[in-house]
Structure 1
Amino acid sequence: MRANTARSYEPRVEEFKAYCDVVFSGLGPERRYTVTHEKIYPFMFYQCFREKKAPASQGAKIPRFNHDDYIAIHSKYSSLTPDQRVDDPVVCLDLESIMSYKAALQKFHADQRDDNINNCSWQDHVWLAKCEKLMKVVKGRKQRVKRANYDENEMSPYGALDHIDQIENALFHMGCVSDSRSILSSLRNRFTFLFTTGGILRGESVYMAELSDLLHATVHRTRDPHPVTVMILQMATGKTNKDLKLYGRVARHKNVNLCSIGALGFYLMYRFHYTVLSGGQQGTESRESCCIICPAPFGARRAFTGLSEISPEDDKVTATRFLHFMKVLSEVVIQDAAVIFVEHPNRIHHSLFSSVEVFQSNEFQSYVELMRASLTHATSPYNASLETVLPGLNARFDTLQQVQQQLHQNQQYAIQRIDERMDDLRQLFLSSNHLYQNIFVGMWNAAAGYANVRLQQLPVHNGGPAEVHSPSVVMSPDPPKLPNLYYHILATTIHCVSILDRIGKGESKDSILQQFNGFYINDAKGTPSLLVLELQARGILSKQQRNRNPIAVDGGSQEHS
């Protein structure tokens, strides 16, 4: 029995003995502690429905068994009818504690059977159906009690998955110290953490494993481009396997920091480097037993020492597989170390890389540069596999990709040129607006000046505009009538200037047409004016709208309304 298990069972057995001393005090010493159904069921009933004991202070002694509490519990539940229900204890024992009581009493019963003190069978005479009903009651109330007490859900083991990289980083950087024992412990703990997490194992099971329990397998599935290295740990002695073998399996991880196989390689490399478990050399003390140190050839040494002939070699499969796995680990260590030097330069200050000579060699530095170039220009292994099956297909895909990129660049250039041309047209438009405005302002000034000169010589005419003339001008007694053409030119010129000003401000088409309001000016031959052509060019005025109500400028065909 494990030490932790014995420490857990001992107080429960002592409590059962204290219970027997009080409740079954009338029995003799030889029968008082015998495990029977009559003693087991009341004791387990009390454990299932009592409150959890408060922790005792340091040095204080508490009784193993509380007889008053035992009497109160049984009195409380014995007076109930089948229809009545009693509330659950506020802080009751959980299912794991009750199962621990059961396991301790079962072990105590097995010891009595071995000592010929008890001849009752556990399943047939001790742990009967009534005890199983108690287990079902405890199992069913677990979630009910947790909800009533607002206990947290047991999500911490799953929540730890979000912090695996942080835990691994802390364990790795613990090795950046000068103490060799701390470095070795941190590397071992890092491997144990990654392996138990990736292989879904218990830490105690890994502690019990030996190096001979390790082996590896190479698996190459048809859908994968490369074979996968799998590390297998087979344990005959573990925490939960009992009489069966326990297997833990992990594969190479894409992230070099989370690879369990690489973590094992780093740990073993530093362990062998620190402990110096190597073969004996001449002039030094050997650390291996039964080792002969002699410079003579091996055959001469056998004859000189009187040893027997060499026996046939045995087929040691375990040793062969383990040595082959060590060879694979050496390659894994060099690869992972090179990746760390390239992608994680903050880790190269670890004592492993500064103390082991291989990481200081020129060959390793050259390999790091090759790894850097490979990672920088890495190609997908699936592309290599596709090229093997269909030669030339990757090149065709690359050509299509280049064509697509060229078309994309051409489109970008064309769009850029469109923007430049639009800027040029916008500048031309603004220049033309200023030109047209200057032309029509000049026309307006000329027409207005001519009209005012004529108006100063005439009185206000009923058909003319309400223009205020200068009083200093002497009017003719019989002035000629001012033609309507002057009024038309004056009003049209002012209106054209207003329309062009709206065009320059970028107003909408409907707003400009509303301002235009029928001032379609054609010459005597029906040729459209510059204003009409400008509005047509900008898409504001259509040909049908221009021909809808033309106004001639000869002065006699139509009059302005």
Structure 2
Amino acid sequence: MEPPRLQVELEESANATLNRCRKARPANTSRAYAPKQEKFKTWCYRKDFHESTRYQVMATKMHLFLSEEVVDREVRVKNSTRKVGVATMEIYICIMTNKVEEQTHPCPRNNLIKALLTSLKREEHEKHKREYVDRGVGTLLDGYCTTDDLIAISRYDMNLNTGGDLRNRICHFLCHLSLLRGESAHNLELPDLFSVVLEHEGYTDCRALVMTMDQGKTNQLGREFMSCIRNRNVEFCPIGALGLYLFFKWIVQLKAVPNFLEPALWYNSYITVLKKKRQQKR
């Protein structure tokens, strides 16, 4: 047993590391975790667990919480009687398992929790068959997937003819053609973009727009990159959409063009992020 003074130092060091990890966590993850963790704490307080282990996550406690508070609960949508599915259960389990990293108990995702998930998946599958749920939901048929769909989206944003809609247009095509998350497209900065000439691609220059990704939910260390090239159909060309949006912002709206002489003068220039989000990020 270590002396009390040294024991306190060890615990303070561990808590400081945990706090640093929480602060570095992506914003979307924190927003998703907070209400569900608070719900678990409220449930623990209501069940009157012992104070010393009240909020610790163990397999049996997590199983009881899921059975009472999550399984067969109706979704929180007005005028809807639909019950939560397996995906919601997986989110709760992931969040509570993440909390175990701060404790000394073993991972609660044991055979009991796995059996609960397996039975719920079978029940959900049978329920969908009984209710004739569209089996195209969640597949390639669920959403835009044709050239005509992309052209229709492009024309819709262009006809609205506002800066916000041109921003939505470029975000949509960057996400679609570069396989980005919306968060990644909104947080792109000017220094994240550069072009590369692709050789032996025809008689005219072929330039690829390369985007280095900053930190995000699926990119914790900011070392990934995505790219796209010019499309021969100008209506959904991502490079053309980006050029049109920057022209509108700097020439039509007369917003200040960044000074590219020194990195400190333009490295914090966002491309599409809203002013409100820009202030929150800083």
2:1 matches 1:16: no
Match of 1:151 in 2: 133
C-alpha separation between the residues in 1 aligned to 2:198 and 2:220?
Answer: 29
1:309-363 Cα distance to aligned partner (Å, 9 max, x none): xxxxxxxxxx9xxxxxxxxxxxxxxxxxxxxxxxxxxxxxxxxxxxxxxxxxxxx
Match of 2:88 in 1: 97
Change (3 A) 1:159 1:141: farther
Higher RCO by CA contacts (8 Å cutoff, separation 6 or greater):
2
Change (3 A) 1:56 1:188: closer
Change (3 A) 1:97 1:278: closer
Give the C-alpha shift of residue 164 in structure 1.
Answer: 1.3
SS of the residue aligned with 1:233?
Answer: strand
2:257 matches 1:277: yes
Match of 1:130 in 2: 112
8 Å CA contact 2:70–2:84 kept in 1: the answer is yes
Change (3 A) 1:162 1:52: farther
8 Å CA contact 2:26–2:215 kept in 1: the answer is no
Match of 1:201 in 2: 180
C-alpha separation between the residues in 1 aligned to 2:99 and 2:83?
Answer: 24
Give the C-alpha shift of residue 262 in structure 1.
Answer: 1.2
Q: Which one-letter code corresponds to 2:143 in the other structure?
A: P
5+ residue gaps, structure 1: 58-89, 176-182, 280-287, 292-318, 320-561
2:105 equivalent among 114, 120, 128: 120
Change (3 A) 1:290 1:212: closer
Change (3 A) 1:134 1:214: same
Give the C-alpha shift of residue 144 in structure 1.
Answer: 3.0
C-alpha separation between the residues in 1 aligned to 2:61 and 2:78?
Answer: 27
C-alpha separation between the residues in 1 aligned to 2:127 and 2:98?
Answer: 30
8 Å CA contact 1:219–1:230 kept in 2: the answer is yes
Change (3 A) 1:138 1:218: farther
Give the C-alpha shift of residue 259 in structure 1.
Answer: 1.1
Match of 2:209 in 1: 231
2:198 equivalent among 211, 216, 219: 219
1:268-298 Cα distance to aligned partner (Å, 9 max, x none): 223232114377xxxxxxxx9999xxxxxxx
Give TM-score, length-normalised by structure 1.
0.37
1:467-504 Cα distance to aligned partner (Å, 9 max, x none): xxxxxxxxxxxxxxxxxxxxxxxxxxxxxxxxxxxxxx
1:258 equivalent among 228, 236, 245: 236
C-alpha separation between the residues in 1 aligned to 2:109 and 2:263?
Answer: 54
C-alpha separation between the residues in 2 aligned to 1:103 and 1:278?
Answer: 42
Match of 2:100 in 1: 109
SS of the residue aligned with 1:156?
Answer: coil
SS of the residue aligned with 2:185?
Answer: helix
Give the C-alpha shift of residue 37 in structure 1.
Answer: 1.9
Give the C-alpha shift of residue 214 in structure 1.
Answer: 0.6
Change (3 A) 1:212 1:53: closer
SS of the residue aligned with 1:157?
Answer: coil
1:93-151 Cα distance to aligned partner (Å, 9 max, x none): 222211221133134334xx2xxxx32233xxx22222223333334444432222222
Alignment of 1:92-491 (within 5 A): 92-110=83-101, 113=102, 118-122=103-107, 126-152=108-134, 153-154=136-137, 155-159=141-145, 162-175=148-161, 183-221=162-200, 224-243=202-221, 245-273=223-251, 274-277=254-257
1:52-75 Cα distance to aligned partner (Å, 9 max, x none): 256579xxxxxxxxxxxxxxxxxx
Change (3 A) 1:187 1:9: same
C-alpha separation between the residues in 2 aligned to 1:240 and 1:251?
Answer: 23
C-alpha separation between the residues in 2 aligned to 1:206 and 1:290?
Answer: 22
Give the C-alpha shift of residue 250 in structure 1.
Answer: 1.1
5+ residue gaps, structure 2: 1-24, 268-282
1:371-411 Cα distance to aligned partner (Å, 9 max, x none): xxxxxxxxxxxxxxxxxxxxxxxxxxxxxxxxxxxxxxxxx
Alignment of 1:524-543 (within 5 A): none
SS of the residue aligned with 1:275?
Answer: coil
Give the C-alpha shift of residue 256 in structure 1.
Answer: 1.5
2:31 matches 1:31: no
Say how many residue pairs are matched: 233
The percent identity for this pair of structures is 22
C-alpha separation between the residues in 2 aligned to 1:56 and 1:270?
Answer: 39
- RMSD of Structure 2 on Structure 1 (CA): 3.2
8 Å CA contact 1:192–1:203 kept in 2: the answer is yes
C-alpha separation between the residues in 1 aligned to 2:91 and 2:207?
Answer: 41
Q: Which one-letter code corresponds to 1:21 in the other structure?
A: Y
Give the C-alpha shift of residue 186 in structure 1.
Answer: 2.6
8 Å CA contact 1:195–1:201 kept in 2: the answer is yes
C-alpha separation between the residues in 2 aligned to 1:290 and 1:141?
Answer: 57
| Structure number with bigger Rg | 1
Q: Which one-letter code corresponds to 1:220 in the other structure?
A: E
Give the C-alpha shift of residue 35 in structure 1.
Answer: 1.2
Alignment of 1:501-540 (within 5 A): none
